[in-house]
Structure 1
């Protein structure tokens, strides 16, 4: 059997992390088994589906690198086929028209709720002859006896009594097909062998299996992935922060970090934490996915992202960092080589946005000193060292503005003033960067450049003088 999986989002919003994990699992399963991965856009909700959402889904898939083999297929382009299938079900007596008014359905529901019975349609129109020219819906005639057994690849055997399943609507009164009909037709005709999706669809599965059998098709194998929870134990949503895949990209995360994080939400391979995409493909098994929901932990994602930033090709990180520099008003071509900045700073940032922020000092003067750092290091006692450093640095030729030479200057000043390196380097660092943390001081000076270094030392000396004057 050829393995064929699909990712079938509804274009009613962005590609969220739960959908991205489902797409990843489907992608990995197909790749591991030499199969095909299909992208299908389920856009039958005409009121809520938008072109912008389609673009957001495609953009997210492209950014994550989840390449599909077929598609994207759009259900709105297959309406004629769905209508043919519905008419066939009607002709075979496997579906029927229903003209129950909304008021009757509401009374039925209220009565069932009062009796503490699961709300379901009572089959009132099963044996009635409904004028096809009058407003009506079409319902699937679900079996009333027996049970549907879902052999779930994650959850195991899950039984559903047919008596608990109502005759669901497969065509609305406006003539449009519904989700449970279209997904069945598409899965059958696209020869999908494995359906991997969120467990919120588990209750749809027995209904879809019954429709598939009515159409004479063998159901695919199903795997229902548990949901992702926020830190508060509730389903992950906007209130927990960014949940859109594109929002994580814009916040400075790398696609490989997000993929690595998502695969570890409910799946593991021993104690291994970091996985390349090739390792994911070779190791992932849908049967090993946990049945319990997973909690989204931003700290873990940050740790992975920092790992990938630190170990990636600096040239690639520089390319990805460039627009984030632009977002804070910096043109990276007007200053030190951005690759050199990445090499110096990569281990210090969890995201590209943070990397841009902590690297801004390389390209522009900062507005204010970090209060604690200035209070500790920019004191009158630091003035002699800064004055001496300025004088010696000013004498360096531009071609000598290299880490080794700069380091020797700082060492020379330390020895001349009989101070340890920290008493010289830290006031200099705060003067140049505005805070007490930066790469090695010699690398920092090289990145900032001679003119900016001298200018910032002058500013620090003025700051010390003003502080002394104010007591």
Structure 2
């Protein structure tokens, strides 16, 4: 059997964290087995589906690097196929026209609630042997309902949750086509999984209630069933369901916040799946390890601090030139001046050890790409008459010293010793004059990167 998985988002918004994890698990399982990963856009919700949302999903998948092998397939482009299957089901008696109005259906459900029964369609228009159907109402377009089995159970071995069994008495005759002929969600999903020969459906456990309906439709069609696995939801740091109001839930939000795609993939992989105690691993490693037996049946909790730790790991491991290209646009937008400034990749090397995001990295690097504007009060505090002679001597030495970090540091120590000063007494005014701030990497590294001419010009301000 060739493994075929799918990711099938509805384009009613961004690609959210839960969807991205589902896509990752489906992608990794296909890759592990040398199978096929299908991307399907379930866009039959015409009121809420938008081209912008479709693009947001495609962009999110592209950023994560979860390349599909087939697709994207769009349900709205498969209407002829759905109508053909509907016609066959009507002919075979596994589906029927229902002329009950929405008001009539709601009334029957109210009666059932009042009687303490589960509300469901009562089968008024369901054809049965010896049953006389009501007269067809004039000028009323019918829906098409699936003729669900009346007895027995729907049971499947869920690869995450174990055996799940639901009585057919709990299921009513599902509407599979609206009055305008547009097929409904569960019908389209069943037909798509059948046509696309999907062997494994990995999705969120909010779909558990859909599964018995889809299984019954597939059984009525004589189609083979995929294996189903329903992964629990992701909870926010507060233990509640992730929501846009409280949490960043869009994948592209995390891209904008400075997280690397490999960090997000690594982190999402550990939300509901594990391989021993491994915390950091490549996608190649994940694909070689991934199976469905290690998916957790418990809800995973999103931990921003853990994501920051993983992102810091990948930033430290990332090529500096790549990081430079990532942060350059935002630095330009913040007013960075790159002409005559130090090489950005070299600057990144100074800051990446402590940067949890590329946004933090860009903010830190800015001190090399803007004119210093030290506060007058800070200059007065640190550039004292006791320090000024030492600063002037050091500025003179820097005009001729070999320009490397070791020589710059040695000259600094010489001046400190001659003037009986401690390192902070000279390093602080140097930082203020060169960068405008008191917190920087080691002062010898800062001086080395700025270059002789820039350092000389900025220190000269102290003696003007």
TM bucket (normalised to shorter chain) is over 0.9
1:89 correspondence with 2:89: yes
CA contact (8 A) 2:215 2:225 kept: yes
Give the 3-state SS of the residue equivalent to 2:209 in structure 1.
helix
Provide the C-alpha distance between the structure 2 equivalents of 1:333 and 1:111, rounded to a whole number of angstroms.
77
Superposition RMSD on alpha carbons, in Å? Answer: 2.4
Q: Tell me if the contact between 1:314 and 1:339 (Cα under 8 Å) persists in the aligned partners.
A: yes
Distance 1:206 1:445, change over 3 A: same
Deviation of the 1:31 alpha carbon: 0.4
What is the TM-score normalised by the length of structure 2? Answer: 0.92
The question of 1:106 aligning with 2:106 is answered yes
Counterpart Cα distance in 1 of 2:343 and 2:400? 16
> Contact between 1:121 and 1:167, CA under 8 Å: does it hold in 2?
yes
SS state at 1:26 partner: helix
Report the Cα distance in structure 2 between the residues aligned to 1:26 and 1:79, rounded to whole angstroms: 26
Partner of residue 211, structure 2:
205
State the match for 2:419 in structure 1: 417
Aligned residue for 1:5?
Answer: 5
Following superposition, the deviation at residue 183 of structure 1 comes to 0.7
**1:336-378 deviation line (CA, Å, top 9, x unaligned):** 111101111111211111111111110103556599xx5xx96
Structure 2 counterpart of 1:349:
355
Structure-2 separation of matches of 1:171 and 1:344: 61
TM-superposed CA distance for 1:192, in Å, is 0.4
In the alignment, the residues of structure 1 paired with residue 105 and residue 35 of structure 2 have an alpha-carbon distance, to the nearest angstrom, of 45
1:420-470 deviation digits (Å, cap 9, x = unpaired): 3233324433443444432221111223344554565577899xxxxxxxx
Matched, 1:317 2:319: no
Q: Could you tell me whether the CA contact under 8 Å between 1:334 and 1:363 is conserved in 2? A: no
1:82-231 map, 5 Å: 82-127=82-127, 128=133, 130=136, 134-231=140-237
Question: How big is the shift at 1:148?
Answer: 0.5
CA contact (8 A) 1:410 1:425 kept: no
Question: In structure 2, how many angstroms separate the alpha carbons of the residues matched to 1:165 and 1:132?
Answer: 29
8 Å contact from structure 1 (residues 147, 160) kept in 2: yes
1:304 equivalent in alignment to 2:306: no
Q: Does structure 2 retain, via aligned residues, the 8 Å contact 1:75–1:182?
A: yes
Alpha-carbon distance in 2 for matches of 1:52, 1:134: 35
State the match for 1:57 in structure 2: 57
Give distance in 1, aligned partners of 2:72 and 2:451. 51
Describe the SS at the equivalent of 1:191: coil
**TM-score normalised by length of structure 1:** 0.91
Aligned counterpart, 1:239: 245
Aligned to 1:251: 257
8 Å CA contact retained: 1:137, 1:172: yes
2:434 to 432, 435, 438: 432
- Which residue pairs with 1:69 in the alignment? 69
Listed as ranges, the gaps of 5+ residues in structure 1 are 463-471
Q: Which runs of 5+ in 2 are unaligned?
A: 128-132
Equivalent residue for 1:396? 398
Contact 1:386-1:457 at 8 Å conserved across structures: no
**Partner Cα distance (2:385, 2:354) in 1:** 29
Alpha-carbon distance between aligned partners in 1 of 2:382 and 2:306, rounded to the nearest angstrom:
43
State whether residues 24 and 66 of structure 1, in contact with CA within 8 Å, keep that contact through their aligned partners in structure 2: yes
**2:130 paired residue number:** none
**Paired residues of 2:312 and 2:353 also in contact (CA < 8 A):** yes
Number of residue pairs matched by the alignment: 458
Distance 1:300 1:393, change over 3 A: same
| Number of the residue aligned with 2:293 | 287
**1:389-447 deviations in Å (ceiling 9; x for gaps):** 24432553489443223212211221112223233324433443444432221111223
Determine the C-alpha separation between the residues in 2 that align with 1:148 and 1:74.
29
What secondary structure does 1:15 align onto? coil
Distance 2:190 2:50 in 1: 23
In 2, Cα distance between equivalents of 1:115 and 1:435? 74
